[in-house]
Structure 1
């Protein structure tokens, strides 16, 4: 009786492997409604720092942050860019406590 060829064994074992999800198309994303994005914008408190840079107090996933970010213009709307930093309340307090030291260093070096 002939032995099964290695090709057959390899092909039959490859069919047993996990080929990934049966449905290769991801579910359609729900479009964000204007109300949700408007509400988030209305809830944010912001201060202009000039040249499309803003400091904002915002809530994200139940936590509050100070977001200092550069924005860009898209058809008259300002959208947040990648350039920026989002500080936790703990980080914000640390920064505030060091403002006097930072100011002194600036006066000495500038």
Structure 2
């Protein structure tokens, strides 16, 4: 006599496969959750400046970079493109220092 109610009729293949499907779905769900949580952590430091342009603060080879990049859509996801620039923290601070001068130049146009 079977111990589980799911396996009462062993001649029915659908009952036999159900536990495997449930297991696969739960593994798939865990996989999606872990990838979405890692993306969530990445998005924490990503700031939209237009529909396809973002500023992203990230670490690369032990250095903090401020990445200003154009993105494109592929397979329902926004992915970084080739067009962009990565600034070191020193370069970012210098850019902030000249921001008022840049604003004045913009007004002259």
Q: TM-score, normalization: structure 2?
A: 0.62
Map of 2:99 onto structure 1? 99
TM-score normalised to structure 1 length: 0.61
Alignment of 1:24-63 (within 5 A): 39=38, 42-43=41-42, 45-63=45-63
CA distance in structure 2 between the partners assigned to 1:56 and 1:47 by the alignment: 6
Q: Deviations over 1:49-86 (max 9, x none)?
A: 11210011111111101100000111111110000000
Give, in angstroms, the shift of residue 39 of structure 1: 3.2
Structure with bigger gyration radius: 1
Q: Specify every segment of 5 or more residues in structure 2 that has no aligned partner in the other structure, as ranges.
A: 1-31
Q: Which has the higher helix share?
A: 2
Q: CA RMSD in A?
A: 2.2
Aligned length: 76
Q: Secondary structure at the match of 1:92?
A: helix
Unaligned runs of 5+ in 1: 1-33
* In structure 2, C-alpha distance between the alignment counterparts of 1:81 and 1:64, rounded to whole Å: 20
